[in-house]
Amino acid sequence: MRICPDAELDDSLLDVTVVGPLSRTALLRLYPTVRSGAHVRHPAVTTRRAPAVTLAAAGVVGYADGERLGPLPLRNECRAGALRVLAPAGSHRT
**Which is nearest to 60 in space by CA: 73, 47, 49?**
73
d(CA 38, CA 58): 32
pLDDT band at 66 (very low <50, low <70, confident <90, very high): confident
23 touches 14 (CB < 8 A): no
41 touches 7 (CB < 8 A): no
69: number of CA atoms within 13 Å, CB side?
14
29-55, pLDDT tens digit by residue?
999 999 999 999 999 999 999 999 999
Q: What are phi and psi of 81, to 5 degrees?
A: 80, 5
Element (H, E) at 28: helix 24-30
85 has pLDDT over 80: no
Over residues 6-31, mean pLDDT: 92
